[in-house]
Structures are given as structure tokens and as C-alpha cells.
Structure 1
């Protein structure tokens, strides 16, 4: 797209320069006309071909040269001809040429320079040819070019912004979809694990018509707690944590696990360290009730609270308080 527009601009620039050279009557001062052509070609080639950091916006030096040319070229071209010759077909070349220069400025994101160049062209052409003749001999076309170029740039930038927003939305949807797939997979794994744990207990319960001995009742309570852990424990659990919780329950403790998303975004290495520390804390706990919570705190990833069986006040009943930091200290 850029190569095509560059070639088109250069083609029009050469056309206007050739039209200026192809005079049908001898200019009064040919050197002024030649100087106007050379200055115009230098300005338009610089404006079209000069590169910048972002690849689209024209360098400021090229924009300044374009502004100077838009003011000087009409003057040189007009002064090179007698007054009665300024309306000749070859003499009006600068109207389209400077209009093209203004269009290049706008397309290369120097809209102010483009409109100033157009204003300079209108003033110069009106001064040397008369405002009616100037509009009749091509000024309307140059103004139309500039207006259309400005509208196209506005619509193009809006389309680019909309495309970027759409791409961001698509990425967000893809990320959300991937997250949902992972969560569904995790739920299936937890459901399968829960069925594997509860299946034998349910089978025995049905077979014995609900008459269970003390050991079977203990296994049923353990299975119930394990199922709750799988549903509410999230990524807090690994084999070591599950074993520590199971051992604590076998010793009579009531263990509750809550994963409120506190470990989301934690890297795998640190997550393994947190789980290992949690397993060690639970294994060494001697509290009657243990509460494990992974909250959304910026500093603390997991909090383990142990409560004793008695105590006159709630504060007195807390005999274990352990915080696992989100990052390694």
C-alpha cells in the first residue's frame, strides 16, 4: 500500500514538473521558472521519500521545506512570466503541484503543514492570477484533493484504532476461553478424584444399608472432607498437602480449606514451595480446628489458623497462626 501511494505521488510530481517545462511561450525570466521547478522537485521528493522513526510521520525538516516551497514556488513561477501569460495551461502547473505537496504533508501526518501550504497556494494564486481565474484554472481541484486526503487519513486512523481494539478484544476472549478450558479440565479432574474417593464408601454404605462400624464411619467422614477439599481447595492442594490434611483429620482435627484465588499468577516454582510449607505446617499442627485460606492479599498467599477446643474468648482459642508469604523473603 505504501509503495503504491509513493509511486503515485512521484508520478504526479513528475507530471507537474514536465508540464512546467513544456512551455508554449517563452518565459520572461526562464531561470526563475527553472528554479521553481527544481525547488518543487526537491521539496516533494524529500516529503515523499524522507524516512522517520515511526515510518509514517514526515520528519520536521521535510515539512518545513514543503511549507517554504508552497510559498516560494508560486511566486517564482508567476514572476517568471508576463502577466498576460499567467493563465496559460503550462503556467498553472504550480496549482496542482503545490496541492499535491499539501496532500503529501497531510498523508504523512503533518496536517497543519498541509493546510498552511494550501492556504499559501490560495493566497499566491489569487494574488497573481485573480481569485476567479485561480479557482477556474485548478484551485478547486487542489482544495478537493486536500479535503479528501484529510478525510481519508481521519477514517484510516479511526479504522486502525478500531482494528486494534478488536484485536485486543479477540485476545481477551481467547485468553478467557483458554482459562475456562483449563478450569473445566481442573473441575473434571477434581470430580474424578472425588468419585474415586467417595465411590468405595458409598458402595459400602449402600451394601450395608447404612449400618457402618466406627472405622467405616471414620472413612466416610474423611471421604466427605476430602471431597470438600477437592471442590474448594483449588490449586492449594498437592499430594503432600492432601496427606497432611488426611493425617490431621485422622487425629481428630477438623480441617477446612478455602482457595479464594490467592495463588493465581504465582509461578510454578514458588507455588510448589508454598504447598510444601503448607504441608509442613499442617503436619505439625496440634489444634482441634485448622482453617487454611488462600486470600487475595498482596503480601500473604496462604494463612493457616489453628483453634483450640476451649478458651473463654475467641482470641484465647487461637493457638496457631502462620502466614505464608507470596514471594520468597
Structure 2
């Protein structure tokens, strides 16, 4: 699979090979050929290692992705040593009258390319040290004006442009990541809104099923309901309040026991105040079954059912009877049941 990383790596290899090949076209004398020719493979081995070290193709690297792996420190230091050794070895091996010829100055572009690659591999300090030491070597051996006229500013510009490019790519990557987070948050918000709308529709449908017939009968009779119809209206109101206030506590068994308790004359109030959101369906089924069992045996005049934020208590059921004015009247409380979390 062809990737941008692979194409760029091939271009880097071809370009550095071209720069090194210029050193083989001898157009002047060489005093120390062995030293001169050792500098060429040293440059190519280190440069190509910097290019390919940590390279992953196929599934290991996303197509079109910019490499973000940091170059190992030992290899970055090897590149720094190369940036010092190669220029000095070449200029030492070549006599003074040949040092400004193309075959002796190829290292300016070569080391510039090497330090540019080091910059791309996330070692900016090493890259600037390398191009700086190479520039100092060229100026010492060739002189300031000859070094500048032979392409030294171009190598420095390459390294600076690579750093600016890496900064721009990193900034774009951060912006893309932020945009992805925003899109994910927007999708989650939209999904929650859709869920709430669906929940509201379900509640409206249940409300119509519970109160619709009674409301229709009330309108039809002008409010003159018979005794049994008033009881059904009170039960419908209770069912509607249950659906709105304690929907998470309800299943068919709990609904049946709530209606049975109201038919026995109990006033039942439910409050789902949170605390059960982390329970799965099986745990909720256990809690609801115990709530239904509690309601089945309850004979209090007034029943209050609340969810609990306590880490061990899921639901609290309080039953009152008698003439007590508040729950603080101990004589009026005849039922206190705490349903534990499964």
C-alpha cells in the first residue's frame, strides 16, 4: 500500500543519494582518498537510518499520516556526529585549491538535508546544532563569503522551513482533534435529545392511555361523574403521576401493586430523584420485584416512595397512618422499608 510517508521517504533517499553522488565526480585533487571515500558511506548510512528507523507500512501506519514518532536519541546523536565528521573529513582530505569545487562542497547540501530530516523526526535541538556545526566548519575551512555563496543559507532555510512545517502540521492535528471532539459531543447531544424526545412521546402516549378515557367521560358528562367513575379518575391521575415522577421504578408488577394499593384507599406518591442510573436491567428487576412485594403487604393510609442516593440503599418506602401532620410524628409512621441495592 503506497502512503505519503513511503513516497516522501523514497524522495529523501533519492535526493540524498544524488547529493552524495556529486562527491564521486572528482574534478580536482584529493590528498587522502581513503578518508574522503569513508565520509560518503557514513553520510548515506546515517541519513537513510534517520529516514527509515521506525518506519511502518500497511496496517502499522495510516495512509497519508504524517510521522510523529520521535527519532531515538542515539540515532539523533549519530546524525549530529555525522554533521561534524563528514564536512571536516572531506575538507581535510581535499587540498586548499580544490575545496570550493562541487565535489568537495556537496556536504553543505547533504548535511542540510540530513538535519532537515532530523527536524522532521522531532529532534529540533539536534537539527539546529547539526546545521550550526556544519556551518561553522564550512566557514572555518572555506571562509565566510565562499561558504555563503556555495549554498550554506539554503541549508539553514531548509531546516527553518521544516520546523515551520512541523509546527503547522501539529497545529492542524490539534485543530482536527478538537473538531473531532466537538463533533462527537454534538453527536452525543443530538442522540440525547432524540432519546428525550422519544421518552417524552412514550410518556405522552402512556398519559393518554391512562387519562384519555376518563377525560373523555368527564367532558361528555360535564363533570358529573358517578362514584365509580371518580375512583377511576383518581386512579388515572395516580398512574399519570407515577409515569411522570417515577418511571424508572415502574414495571407491570409495580404498576399493578400501585393500583391495588390505591383501590384499598392508600394515597401513593412516587419520587425518582436519581441514584439508580448505574443499575442495569437485571438489578432494576430485582429492586422492582422487592418494591412490588412491599406494596403488596402495605396497609398504610399514605405511602411515599423515593429513590435514594445512598451507596447501599436503592429505594425507601415510608407508610403513614393516623392523624400525624408530618413524618416526624413517630406514632403516624407504620411502615419504613429500605430496599437495598443488588
TM exceeding 0.5: yes
Aligned to 2:272: 259
Deviations 1:8-61 (A, max 9, x none): 211111111111111211311111111111111111111011117997222233
Q: Are residues 1:137 and 2:140 paired?
A: no
Aligned to 1:239: 252
Aligned to 2:48: 45
**SS state of the match for residue 25, structure 1?**
coil
Aligned with residue 24 of structure 1, among 24, 27, 38: 27
Decide whether the 8 Å contact of 2:29 with 2:98 is kept in 1: no
Distance 1:276 1:129 in 2: 92
Q: Are residues 1:208 and 2:221 paired?
A: yes
Deviations 1:148-205 (A, max 9, x none): 1111111111111111121122112212212221221121111111101111111221
**SS state of the match for residue 323, structure 2?**
coil
Aligned to 2:59: none
Cα RMSD over matched residues?
A: 2.2
Measured after TM superposition, the shift of residue 113 of structure 1 is 1.6
Decide whether the 8 Å contact of 1:52 with 1:58 is kept in 2: no
Measured after TM superposition, the shift of residue 295 of structure 1 is 5.2
Change (3 A) 1:232 1:31: same
Decide whether the 8 Å contact of 1:201 with 1:219 is kept in 2: yes
Aligned to 1:57: 70
Deviations 1:118-172 (A, max 9, x none): 2221221122112222222111111111111111111111111111121122112
Deviations 1:218-257 (A, max 9, x none): 1101111111221222322221221122122222222222
**SS state of the match for residue 168, structure 1?**
helix
Measured after TM superposition, the shift of residue 270 of structure 1 is 1.9
Measured after TM superposition, the shift of residue 115 of structure 1 is 1.6
Aligned to 2:64: none
Deviations 1:255-274 (A, max 9, x none): 22222343334322222222
**TM-score w.r.t. length of structure 2:** 0.88
Aligned to 2:287: 274
Within 5 A, what are the aligned runs for 1:282-301? 282-294=295-307, 296=309, 298-301=311-314
Aligned to 1:6: 9
Measured after TM superposition, the shift of residue 300 of structure 1 is 4.0
**SS state of the match for residue 258, structure 2?**
helix
Deviations 1:34-92 (A, max 9, x none): 11111111111110111179972222332121111111111111111112322112211
Distance 2:90 2:309 in 1: 74
Aligned with residue 36 of structure 1, among 32, 35, 39: 39
Distance 1:323 1:106 in 2: 66
Q: Are residues 1:223 and 2:226 paired?
A: no
Mean CA deviation greater in 64-73 or 257-266 = 257-266
Distance 2:335 2:96 in 1: 102
Measured after TM superposition, the shift of residue 278 of structure 1 is 2.5
Decide whether the 8 Å contact of 1:52 with 1:59 is kept in 2: no
Mean CA deviation greater in 31-40 or 244-253 = 244-253
Gap regions ≥5 residues in structure 2: 57-66
Gap regions ≥5 residues in structure 1: none
Change (3 A) 1:186 1:102: same
Change (3 A) 1:98 1:250: same
Q: Are residues 1:185 and 2:188 paired?
A: no
Distance 1:254 1:170 in 2: 48
**SS state of the match for residue 6, structure 1?**
helix
Change (3 A) 1:200 1:123: same
Distance 2:310 2:12 in 1: 60
Decide whether the 8 Å contact of 2:242 with 2:270 is kept in 1: yes
